[in-house]
């Protein structure tokens, strides 16, 4: 088609710049092109434009992060009644949410934490001025969930208490509610008018599927709970040092959302004034680019699958070594952690004799195991148990 198209002449203005670039002289000056340059001859990015870019990135980040958690077709998101702010990862989100409750929650300002829970939860609640109580979660005898104990404690808790729930991949136990249990819990929380306060630090790490891991959160929202949510990108994006996260809450109306948002900003102001831009840009770029988003989903699945494979390997070797006890929980537990059931003495022995380190509660991070070290780990664990 185009073989007869002739070569066009160089642009007379841009040609001036080409000539300028080719000139090696130190005293050269380019006054050929009408583009603004500052006092130092550098292109000028207007501050107002930079600020606008910052706003765009932050807004994209908040919007994309909430869609990831709540789901793209979440009703309250569509109805513009979710108040969301950027937090300093999950820890910062917890602090914002708890401070907000401490100031504004009209119900019982007591935070019920699962027993056991992530070690920082009580300290953050305490700093925020909330009273802390516990609800039963882990059953020693079965190394499983104490669902009856949990329900009983949340039923006897004063009406309108704040209940912290790990959205998935509970830390430290690795034990989650089944979907049927979440449904039952939703009814209980509703009938007691409790406030469900979700901590979602491991979306994607439980099943490898970010939507499936958001089941509990989304189900509660569907059921009309005005939940709170702490979202961290430290684990599922491997952004430990960037401190990317959000705090959000479902409100009753867009107008209520605006009022709540104005107060969330007042909580943030004396803490860190405004959030860092780089983590928001990173996360928004990944969640907002179809190719990167797909690639990321694949990587989340890869991380989760590797952990699941390590569970199976550990289980198999423990059985092969005829380790006394039942080890089903190693395979059935979920997410980053496994609550092995090792006693503090066995944990100490593993450190002393095998150079294997874990928290004294017997929790292991499954991600620390790999094909190279799993046999040594399992053999040492088996030895420690046999005594």
Binding mask 326-365 for ligand TYF (x = CB under 6 A): ----------------------------------------
Task: List contacts with ligand PLP (CB under 6 A).
Answer: 89-91, 118, 166, 171, 199, 201, 232, 234, 245
Q: Which is nearer to ligand TYF, 234 or 318 (CB)?
A: 234
- Distance of alpha carbon 66 from alpha carbon 31, whole angstroms: 49
Residue 182's φ and ψ, nearest 5 degrees, are -60, -40
Residues whose CB is less than 8 angstroms from the CB of residue 329 and which lie 6 or more positions away in sequence, other chains included: 143, 144, 338, 339, 341
Q: Which residues face 131 on adjacent strands?
A: 110
Min CB(234)–ligand TYF separation in Å: 5
Choose from ligand TYF, ligand PLP, none: what does 90 bind? Cβ within 5-8 Å by kind: ligand PLP
- Distance of alpha carbon 359 from alpha carbon 344, whole angstroms: 9
Min CB(237)–ligand PLP separation in Å: 10
In the structure encoding, which two tokens stand for residue 45, read together? 């990015």
Q: Which residues are catalytic?
A: 118, 199, 235
Choose from ligand PLP, ligand TYF, none: what does 296 bind? Cβ within 5-8 Å by kind: none
Which residue do the tokens 């991600």 mark?
A: 367
Q: Which residues face 135 on adjacent strands?
A: 114
Q: Which is nearer to ligand TYF, 234 or 250 (CB)?
A: 234
Q: Which residues face 112 on adjacent strands?
A: 133, 163
Q: Which is nearer to ligand PLP, 333 or 382 (CB)?
A: 333
Under rule CB under 6 A, residue 118 binds ligand TYF: yes
Site for ligand TYF in 151-190 (CB under 6 A): 171
- Distance of alpha carbon 260 from alpha carbon 221, whole angstroms: 18
Residue 32's φ and ψ, nearest 5 degrees, are -80, -35
Min CB(244)–ligand PLP separation in Å: 8
Exposed/middle/buried for 137, CB within 10 Å: 0-12, 13-18, 19+? buried
Q: Which is nearer to ligand PLP, 204 or 245 (CB)?
A: 245
Choose from ligand PLP, ligand TYF, none: what does 353 bind? Cβ within 5-8 Å by kind: none
Of 234, 260, 358, 384, the one binding ligand TYF by CB under 6 A = 234
- Distance of alpha carbon 104 from alpha carbon 191, whole angstroms: 22
Which residues sit at the interface with ligand TYF, rule CB under 6 A?
Answer: 118, 171, 234, 240
């Amino acid at each position: 088609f185009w073989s007869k198209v002739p070569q066009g002449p160089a642009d007379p203005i841009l040609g001036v710049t080409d000539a300028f670039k080719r000139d090696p002289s130190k005293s050269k000056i380019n006054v050929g092109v009408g583009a603004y340059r500052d006092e130092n001859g550098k292109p000028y990015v207007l501050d107002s434009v930079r600020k606008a870019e910052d706003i765009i990135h932050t807004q994209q980040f908040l919007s994309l992060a909430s869609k990831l958690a709540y789901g793209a077709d979440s009703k309250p998101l569509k109805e513009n009644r979710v108040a969301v702010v950027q937090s300093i990862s999950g820890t910062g989100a917890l602090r914002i949410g708890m401070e907000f409750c401490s100031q504004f929650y009209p119900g019982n300002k007591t935070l019920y934490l699962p027993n056991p829970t992530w070690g920082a939860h009580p300290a953050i609640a305490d700093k925020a001025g909330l009273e802390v109580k516990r609800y039963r979660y882990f059953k020693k005898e079965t190394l499983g969930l104490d669902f009856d104990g949990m329900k009983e404690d949340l039923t006897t808790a004063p009406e309108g208490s704040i209940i912290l729930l790990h959205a998935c991949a509970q830390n430290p136990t690795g034990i989650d509610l089944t979907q049927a249990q979440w449904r039952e819990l939703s009814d209980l929380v509703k009938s007691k008018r409790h406030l469900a306060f979700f901590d979602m630090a491991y979306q994607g790490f439980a099943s490898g599927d970010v939507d499936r891991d958001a089941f509990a959160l989304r189900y509660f929202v569907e059921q009309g709970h005005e939940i709170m949510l702490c979202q961290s990108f430290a684990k599922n994006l491997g952004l430990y040092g960037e401190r990317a996260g959000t705090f959000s809450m479902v409100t009753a109306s867009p107008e209520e959302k605006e009022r709540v948002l104005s107060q969330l900003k007042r909580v943030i102001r004396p803490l860190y004034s405004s959030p860092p831009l780089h983590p928001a840009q990173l996360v928004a770029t990944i969640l907002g680019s179809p190719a990167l988003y797909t690639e990321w989903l694949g990587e989340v699945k890869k991380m989760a699958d590797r952990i699941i494979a390590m569970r199976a390997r550990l289980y198999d070797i423990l059985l092969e070594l005829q380790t006394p006890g039942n080890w089903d929980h190693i395979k059935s537990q979920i997410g980053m952690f496994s609550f092995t059931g090792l006693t503090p003495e066995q944990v100490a022995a593993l450190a002393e004799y095998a150079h294997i380190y874990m928290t004294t509660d017997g929790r292991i991070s499954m991600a620390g195991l790999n094909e190279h070290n799993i046999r040594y780990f399992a053999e040492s664990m088996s030895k420690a148990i046999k005594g």
